[in-house]
Structure 1
Amino acid sequence: MTVEGWLKKYLDVYCTHLAKTTLEGYKRYINKHIIPILGNIKLCDLKPIHIQNFYNKEREQGYSEKTILQEHRILHRAFKKAVGDGLMSRNPCDAVDAPSPEDYKHNIYTEEEFALLLDKLQGHRMEAIILIAGMCGLRRGELLGLTWEDIDLDRGIIKIRRNVVPTSEGNITKNPKTSKSAREIAIPSAIIPRLKQLRGIGKLYTKLDGTDYHPGSVSRDFKKFLDENGLRHIRLHDLRHFNATMMLKHGVTEREAQERLGHSNSQMTKKYQHILKEMDKESAEKLNSIYENKNKFGVKNGVKA
C-alpha cells in the first residue's frame, strides 16, 4: 500500500467522527500538500528523511511553519494508526522534529486608533459588528451568528449561542467553539445607546438581499474599509485581541476576562499579559527620542548652549 492509499483509508475509517470543517481541512492538507510529494512511496518504505524532505519543500514553496506543523500532526496521527494496524513497524514522524511556529506578532490597535476606527465607521454597514468585536471580544464566527434578538439592550446582555464557519458547500451554523464559548456577557453601557440606534431585525451583518456572507468576505470587507479610510491594517480577529488586552490593562481580572472571551483555559488568556508587557516596552522605546534628541534643543550637560 502506498502513502496515498493509506491516507485515503485513514480518512474513510478513522476520521468519520471529525467535525465537517476539521475533516475538510484534513482532506485539503492531504490532497493538495502531502500526496503530491509523498503519495507514491510505499508505506513500508517511508523513512523519516522522506518526511523531512517534504517539510523542506513546503518551506521552499513559502508555506509557514504553522501550516507545516498541521501537516506533521496529520501525518503523525495517520501513521500511528498504521502502526497499530500492523502496516508499519514504527512511526517515521517520531524521528522528525515537529515544526515550531513563531508566536503571532501582536498587531493591536491603541485606544486612540480604535476610537478613530469607530469615528470613521459611523453610518457604515459594518459599524455594529465592529463595535461589538472591539468592545465585547467576540470571534468572527460568533459575530456572524449573532442576531439582534440575541442582544438584550434593556438588560445589557449579549447571548452567544451560534458560530458560523465556512465549508466547501457554504456556511454552516454550529454550536460555539467550546462549551465555555456558549456564554452570556454584559455589554459595556457606553455603547448601548449607539446599538439602540443601529438595532434592526435578524443577523447583524448580511448581504443586502439578506443572505449570509462567507466569513472570509467579511474579513476582506473590513480590510477594504481600513484601506479606504487610511487606517492601519489589522485583522478582524485582532479586535478580539484588542478587547482582551484592554480588559487586562484596565483592571479586569484574568478569570473575568477568560469568562467574557469564552476561553476554555486560563493559558489562552495569560498570553495577553505578555502582549501588554510588549506594548509597554514599545511605548517606552518610543519615548527614547525625547532623551536622544535633547542635543537638538541645545542642551548639553544640563546647560542650554
Structure 2
Amino acid sequence: MSAYGATRALAKAALDKKSERIRKGLAVVDSKAPLSEVARRWRTTALIASDRRQSTKELYAARCWLHIELGILAEIPLSRMTAGDIEEWIVEARRHGISPSSLRTDYTVLRAVLDTAVRDGLVAKNLAEHVDRPGVPRTEALHLAPAQVGALLDKVATSRHALPILLAAVTGMRRGEVLG
C-alpha cells in the first residue's frame, strides 16, 4: 500500500488514513466512478434483486433514471461527492417544482444507491445519511361540520348511497372500511 503527499508528514497522514479504513473494513479509497454509473448498476441489479413490491421497483427505477442518473449529481465521482452536493440537488429539485413526496422518494432512492455503494466497497460512508430527509408537509383531512352532515343525509335520504354515508358519518369509518 502506498500514499502520496506534498510533504513526508502529509504522505504519512494519507497512509495512516488508508490503514485506518482497512482496519474498519472500509474501501481504501472511494471510487472515481460517477454517480450515474453506480446508480445505473443499482437500478439494474440490486433493485431487481430486492424483495420490494414490483410497483415499488418500477417507481424507484423510473425515479433513479430520471433524477439521479440524469440529474445534477450524475457526473460527480463518488470520491468527490459531498453532503453539500446532495443538499444542492434537493434545492434544485424544489426549484424545478418536484413535489415534496416525489423528492422524498428520490432521496430514498439516492440513499439506497449509496448504501449499496458502501456495501460493495465503492465508498466508505453514505453521504446521504448526513443530509436531512426532505419533509412532506402534513395537511389536515377535510371534514364536514355537523350541520353539513345533516344536510347531506337529508339530500341522499332516498338514494342507494344513504346507508353507507350514514354509516361513515356515525362511525367515522374510512371509505374503504364502509365499502368492506
The one-letter code matched in structure 2 to 1:25 is: L
Q: Report the equivalent of 1:137.
A: 174
User: Which shows bigger deviation, 17-26 or 42-51?
Assistant: 42-51
TM-score (norm 2): 0.62
Structure number with higher relative contact order (C-alpha < 8 Å, ≥ 6 residues apart): 2
Secondary structure at the residue paired with 2:70? helix
Matches within 5 A, 1:89-108: 89-108=124-143
Q: Is the 8 A contact 1:132 1:138 kept in 2?
A: no
Aligned CA RMSD, in angstroms, stands at: 3.2
User: Which shows bigger deviation, 14-23 or 37-46?
Assistant: 37-46
Secondary structure at the residue paired with 1:106? coil
The alpha-carbon distance between structure 1 residues 122 and 101, as it changes in their structure 2 partners (threshold 3 A), is same
Secondary structure at the residue paired with 1:6? helix
CA-to-aligned-CA distance 1:107-163 (integer Å, 9 cap, x gap): 2222333444455567889x4897399454144xx88xx6xxxxxxxxxxx4xxxxx
Matches within 5 A, 1:253-292: none
Secondary structure at the residue paired with 1:101? coil
Q: Report the equivalent of 1:14.
A: 46
Matches within 5 A, 1:221-300: none
Give how far 1:52 is off: 0.8
Secondary structure at the residue paired with 2:144? coil
Q: Report the equivalent of 2:58.
A: 24
Runs of at least 5 residues in structure 1 that lack an aligned partner in the other structure: 147-157, 159-305
Quote the Cα distance in structure 1 between the aligned partners of 2:60 and 2:99: 17
Give how far 1:56 is off: 0.2
Q: Report the equivalent of 2:16.
A: none
Q: Is the 8 A contact 2:40 2:65 kept in 1?
A: no
User: Which shows bigger deviation, 54-63 or 41-50?
Assistant: 41-50
Quote the Cα distance in structure 1 between the aligned partners of 2:64 and 2:154: 45
Q: Is the 8 A contact 2:156 2:162 kept in 1?
A: no
Q: Report the equivalent of 1:33.
A: 67
CA-to-aligned-CA distance 1:71-129 (integer Å, 9 cap, x gap): 2222112201111101112111122222233322332222333444455567889x489
The one-letter code matched in structure 1 to 2:52 is: L
Runs of at least 5 residues in structure 2 that lack an aligned partner in the other structure: 1-32
Secondary structure at the residue paired with 1:15? helix
Give how far 1:50 is off: 1.6
Quote the Cα distance in structure 2 between the aligned partners of 1:123 and 1:63: 45
CA-to-aligned-CA distance 1:179-230 (integer Å, 9 cap, x gap): xxxxxxxxxxxxxxxxxxxxxxxxxxxxxxxxxxxxxxxxxxxxxxxxxxxx
Q: Is the 8 A contact 2:40 2:69 kept in 1?
A: no
The one-letter code matched in structure 1 to 2:126 is: N
Q: Is the 8 A contact 2:37 2:69 kept in 1?
A: no
Quote the Cα distance in structure 1 between the aligned partners of 2:89 and 2:99: 13
CA-to-aligned-CA distance 1:215-253 (integer Å, 9 cap, x gap): xxxxxxxxxxxxxxxxxxxxxxxxxxxxxxxxxxxxxxx
Asked if 1:55 is matched to 2:55, the reply is no
Q: Is the 8 A contact 2:43 2:64 kept in 1?
A: no
- How many residue pairs align between the two structures? 142
Quote the Cα distance in structure 1 between the aligned partners of 2:96 and 2:45: 31
Give how far 1:21 is off: 1.6
Q: Report the equivalent of 2:80.
A: 45
Asked if 1:4 is matched to 2:36, the reply is yes
Give how far 1:55 is off: 0.3
The alpha-carbon distance between structure 1 residues 109 and 83, as it changes in their structure 2 partners (threshold 3 A), is same
Quote the Cα distance in structure 2 between the aligned partners of 1:111 and 1:34: 48
**Identical pairs, percent:** 21
Asked if 1:67 is matched to 2:102, the reply is yes
Quote the Cα distance in structure 2 between the aligned partners of 1:95 and 1:76: 10
